[in-house]
Structure formats: structure tokens, C-alpha cells
Amino acid sequence: MDYFTRKSGKLFCESVSLTRLAERYGTPLYVYSLRTFVRHYKIASRAFGDIPHSIFFSAKANSNLTLLKVIADLGGGCDVVSLGEYKAARKAGIKRVIFSGAGKRPDEIEAALKGGLEFFGVESENELELIEKIATRLGKTAPISLRLNPDVNPITHKYIATGLKTEKFGIPAGRAIKIYKYISQSDRLKPVGISMHLGSQIQTVKPFVEGFRKLKAIFRLLLEQRIVLSHIDLGGGWAAPFTKNQKLPGPSDYIKALVPQMKGLGVEFIVEPGRSLVGNAGVLVTKVIYLKTGYSRKFAIVDAGMNDLIRPALYDADHRIEPVLLRGGRSTKYDVVGPICESSDTFSKKTALSALHQGDLLCLFTVGAYGQSMASNYNSRLRSAEVLVRGNRDYLIRERENYTDLWRKQKLIDLKNLQKIKP
């Protein structure tokens, strides 16, 4: 559930009207509901009952510093996949950080070892060797959790399925014991956990139950070898609702399905949700610039583009779209499209909306995760502002970019004498 509601036809984020925010900050505009975000965190945490656990928010879903600070203040950690995210988490006051990702660079490993971390989620023997080498040079001990590829089908979009044996992620389960033995014999490596991450927008609890079973089997085999891990990390990948009446498990359901299997293991459980915490805490408010009729379709051309929200173009994501102000009357079918010169710059096709007028505001839902964090400057467009709402107050948590930002790192070089270049 979320805290976006209508009052006499007008859409509100908590107690603040989206129309007012659009007037104040312009469009396109990302708007987040703090209460929705905090709610998801809290219900997930409570679902563990008395099982020792921690929630590590996946920073790549949304790395806005203020949102990361909310996680820090709630006592959560962060799962990061780059040095940029590591630094953002630290800057926001996050104390515990997991460093994941299949391609960590040497400088990233070094910085994390120096700055401290919960563990590296290690995805290959090659990576492990490099971490050991760097830890030796620095005189540090690197905490390690192997990310297992449990080969379970998460049944989601193929671009965001990561736990299948054909994917680049994780280490095949058959090699795990041997690698853990190596880790436990190294002076510079310390085995602390076992991890999985099956993919994203996984709409049933079944793959988690199956994956956890496989992790537990290895955990037990390790115990027999006297390799005692302190953490079991079940990753993220819980779904967020994209349509209104979609029956999906909520953040607490994914945990409740696993809790009976969690008892008596003597470890801390870790989960790394991103989308399910922040996804439907965010909306994108955009303005209709033009209405036009093609050969057979009506188009609403809006001021947000695929540079602001790439998910429909990249994953065929279907984000619910509603007018900010409900006018009623007969509905018409529109293709809601952005201004960018690509056919994939389309937010929805044949969406029934009450007749639109130029200048109307539309709202795209469930864009809090992988929205602004995947935004770009394509078409030399400026990235949008972000606003966080708490009750009847709003906070600008990211300013809209300006043209100085756009060119900041570019050099304008006069190369001279281009006539002399022979064709």
C-alpha cells in the first residue's frame, strides 16, 4: 500500500497536493512519500519477529542521500554495488555496508577495506584472489560472503533475473565448499556469510523458499567442516505493485514465508530489498505538452522522457498513469509518450484517461525505485528534481539540474586547421 490518495478528485502525496508541488518545483518531478517508505521498512523488519536480522537497503534502487539517511536513522544498512554508492551510504550515515556486484574494481575493494564494511558479496574465485591480495598489501582481513547462484527460476523479466545458472551472477553451488575452505585457511580472508540474490520484481515467495533451502544445505555442510558463518543473506528482489489491483506479496510476506525455516540457526539474517521499499513510495509528475492525433491513435506528449524514467523502454515496464486532477467525463485512449527522438520513449499504449487538455498533469506510479537512479542526460536533457513529503511538509531533496551541470565535465577544444586532415 501507499500514501498517495485523492481528495475531491485531486491527487495528494500524504497531505500535500501534487498540483501544488508541480507549480512550486516544475515538471517532470519525482515526489516521494516518506511514510510509505518508512512503512515498508518497518513492516519488513517486524515480520522477522524475534529472529536476529538486519535490513540492508539496496542503494542502486534509489541513492538519494536523504533517503539513505532515512535508512540510517531507522537502523538499516546498505547494499552497494560501486564505490559511488559506498561513499553515498557513508555520507548519509549508514554504518553497515555490504559490497556486492560481479565486477568490483581494485580501487573499490581497497577503499572499502580501508573504510570498513560488513562483507564483500563475492561472485568469483578471481575476485576472491584479488581481494586477498589487496587485503594482504593493506594488512587487513577481508570479511567474505559468497554469493551463491542457487539456480532457481525467479519468474520475472529476463533482464532482471539473476539467480539462474545461465546468468553471470554468483558462484555455482557445487564449488562453494571448496572456496569456503580456501577462505577459512587464508590469513587475510574471513568467511562470515553466505548470500543469494535471485533477481528483481519476483512476484511469489516460492523462489526464495527454494533458494534459502539450497543455502541452508551448504550452511550445514560448512558447519560439518567447522566453518561457522554468522550471516545468511537472502538478497532482495521482492516485488512492488505496478497496477492497482495486483495481488502481490508485501514486504512482510516474503519474510513470513521463510521465518519457520530461520529458527535455530544461530545466525543473523540479512535481506537487501530495494524496489519493494521505495518503489511505490515514489511517483513522477509530468505535464502534457501537446495532444496529437496520428493515423489511428491519440498521443499525449508529456515533458518527462525515457531519460527521466527508462523502465518502460528498457523492461517493457507498465507504470500506472493517472491524471493528477480527475475531470471525469468520457474516457479516451492515449499513447502517453515522451519528447525524445526514439520510438521506445513511450510510457504507455492505449491508456484510457478522461479527455486530456494541454497543460494537464499526469502521474506515473511506482517509480521510486530504478527511476531517478537510472536517469540520464540523453538528448541533453536536465535531470529532474526530487521532493520528499512528510505529512503536510515537503522537502526539495535534489535540485533540478541546470545547463552548467550538463557541461560541467566537458572541455571545449579548438582543434584548428581541420582543413589539413586528409579524407
Ligand X SMILES: *Cc1c(COP(=O)(O)O)cnc(C)c1O
Just list the catalytic residues.
341
- Residue for grid cell 567447522: 226
- Residue for grid cell 529458527: 263
CB burial string 208-217: b at 16+ within 10 A, e below? bebbbebbee
Phi/psi at 199 (5° precision): 145, -165
Closer CB to ligand X, 28 or 274, in the complex: 274
CB of 145 to ligand X, least distance (A): 11
Helix or strand run (H / E) with residue 286? strand 282-293
Residues that bind ligand X (CB under 6 A): 58, 60-61, 79, 81, 100, 121, 197, 200, 235-238, 272-276, 369
Closer CB to ligand X, 275 or 381, in the complex: 275
Task: State the virtual CA torsion across 147, 150, 156, 160 in degrees, nearest 10.
Answer: 30
CB of 249 to ligand X, least distance (A): 13
Classify burial at 401, counting beta carbons within 10 Å of its beta carbon; exposed 0-12, middle 13-18, buried 19 or more. middle
Closer CB to ligand X, 55 or 135, in the complex: 55
How many angstroms separate the CA atoms of 179 and 274, rounded? 29
Coil, strand or helix at 177: helix
CB of 374 to ligand X, least distance (A): 12
How many angstroms separate the CA atoms of 72 and 154, rounded? 29
Upstream peptide bond of 52 is cis (omega within 30 degrees of 0): no
Phi/psi at 163 (5° precision): -105, 20
Closer CB to ligand X, 78 or 337, in the complex: 78
Closer CB to ligand X, 149 or 186, in the complex: 149
CB of 100 to ligand X, least distance (A): 4
CB of 400 to ligand X, least distance (A): 25
Closer CB to ligand X, 277 or 301, in the complex: 277
CB of 236 to ligand X, least distance (A): 3
Coil, strand or helix at 12: strand
Name the nearest CA neighbour of 37 among 16, 67, 65, 58.
67
How many angstroms separate the CA atoms of 96 and 375, rounded? 27
Classify burial at 421, counting beta carbons within 10 Å of its beta carbon; exposed 0-12, middle 13-18, buried 19 or more. exposed
Integer CA distances (angstroms), 382 to 85, 290, 305, 401, 402, in order: 22, 20, 11, 5, 6
CB of 58 to ligand X, least distance (A): 3
Closer CB to ligand X, 257 or 406, in the complex: 257
